[in-house]
Amino acid sequence: MAWLDVTLARLADATAWGYASVGPTAAEPAGLAALALMAHGRHAAAQAPLKWLLGQQAANGGVGALGGDPDPAWPTAWSVLAWQTAAKVERDGYSAEAYREAVRRGVDWLLEAHGKPLEQTVHLGHNASLIGWPWVLGTHSWIEPTALAVLSLKATGRREHARTCEAVRLLIDRLLPDGGCNYGNTAVLGQMLRPHVQPSGLCLWALAGETDADGRIARTREYLAREILTQEATASLSYGLLGLAAHEIRPPQVESLLARAAERTLRRTPAAYRLALLALAAPHDDSRFVPDSIFPTDALSTQNVAPPATLVP
């Protein structure tokens, strides 16, 4: 995959990791860049974003979205995932112990952070009493920050923690009856919302290994396997593939889908955020440096895995 070599080279040479090609470094793109580089064996190159994240960790353990600002700190989850991966090896003067300490403090922040429950009304289509994580402290729990926190807690051995278990219930509750999810609501004023690939992929990634009574997870797999073939947006395609990979599903077209997305992205001056997502979604087999319990080993194989017959559009 020639596009992957170019993508990894650009990530390895980067000195800033942001949402735009020119602009400030942000915690989410930095965490994604570190994870993508480590997943493909570029451990030395991953040290720069990892060290930047260490420098952003506040006294309370949180990592703010933008450099120098401790709030909002929802990207703490990405930092924990990256540090947990880095803690498995010694690299370039930063010992595994330094990363383990950052993980401990980051997890402490995550366990203290709570979304705000709302009064249940007939206008809300979800269980508003379930507590996950918000974008901003003091507000309601939403799908994406909750899914990220679940990934981090599972990766650090807290799959059975009460916060993780309640958050898993929240994510399943927010899935739409026919599969997939929106930003957090299922229905508003009696109107069922439409699913979107990006939050659906992230939610499915966090729900790896989980089951539900009414089949919403299975229908979400079916939704993503169908919709992923039409995706052109880099982030949506990448998150969709990551969600399917976590359930050991690799569409046969995965390499061509990623290659086309990479060609579009690389034609412009690409941001680290998109480059990292593409690289992280690409098949790879270096499972030693990927967070525990996040990717099944089979999904990391460079061999594409076709979805079950029921998932073929």
Residue 31 lies inside a defined structural domain of this protein = yes
Q: What is the DSSP code string of the chain?
A: -HHHHHHHHHHHH-S---SSSSS--BHHHHHHHHHHHHHTT-HHHHHHHHHHHHHHB-TTS-B-SBTTB--S-TTHHHHHHHHHHHTTS-BTTB-HHHHHHHHHHHHHHHHH--PPP----TTB-S-TT-----SSTTS---HHHHHHHHHHHHHTT-TTSHHHHHHHHHHHHHS-TTS-B-SS-SEETTEEPPPBHHHHHHHHHHTTT---TTSHHHHHHHHHHHHGGG--SHHHHHHHHHHHHTTT---TTHHHHHHHHHHHHHHS---HHHHHHHHHHS----GGGS-TTTS-GGGGSSS--PPPGGG--
Which tens digit of pLDDT belongs to each residue from 20-78?
Answer: 988 899 999 999 999 999 999 999 999 999 999 999 999 999 999 998 899 999 999 99
Which tens digit of pLDDT belongs to each residue from 208-223?
Answer: 999 999 999 999 999 9
Place of tokens 């493909």: 40
What pLDDT sits at residue 25?
96
Residue 306 lies inside a defined structural domain of this protein = no
Residue 223 lies inside a defined structural domain of this protein = yes
**CATH number of the domain to which 242 belongs:** 1.50.10.20
Residue 313 lies inside a defined structural domain of this protein = no
Residue 310 lies inside a defined structural domain of this protein = no
Which tens digit of pLDDT belongs to each residue from 181-191?
Answer: 998 889 888 88
Mean pLDDT of 75-91: 89
Distance of CA 84 to the CA centre of its chain: 14
**166 vs 194: CA distance, rounded Å:** 24
* Six-digit token string for 13: 């040479």
Residue 289 lies inside a defined structural domain of this protein = yes
Residue 306 has pLDDT above 90, yes or no: no
Residue 234 has pLDDT above 60, yes or no: yes
The mean predicted confidence, pLDDT, of the chain is: 89
Model confidence band, residue 96 (pLDDT cutoffs 50, 70, 90): confident
Mean pLDDT of 96-125: 93
> How many separate domains does the chain show?
1
Contact between residue 172 and residue 212 where contact means Cβ atoms under 8 Å apart: yes
Distances (CA, A) of 106 to 163, 166, 260: 15, 19, 36
What pLDDT sits at residue 97?
87
Residue ranges making up the domain that contains 237:
2-301
Residue 312 lies inside a defined structural domain of this protein = no
Residue 39 lies inside a defined structural domain of this protein = yes
Higher pLDDT, 246 or 285: 246
Which tens digit of pLDDT belongs to each residue from 149-176?
Answer: 999 999 999 999 999 999 999 999 999 9
Model confidence band, residue 313 (pLDDT cutoffs 50, 70, 90): very low
What pLDDT sits at residue 93?
55
Residue 284 has pLDDT above 90, yes or no: no
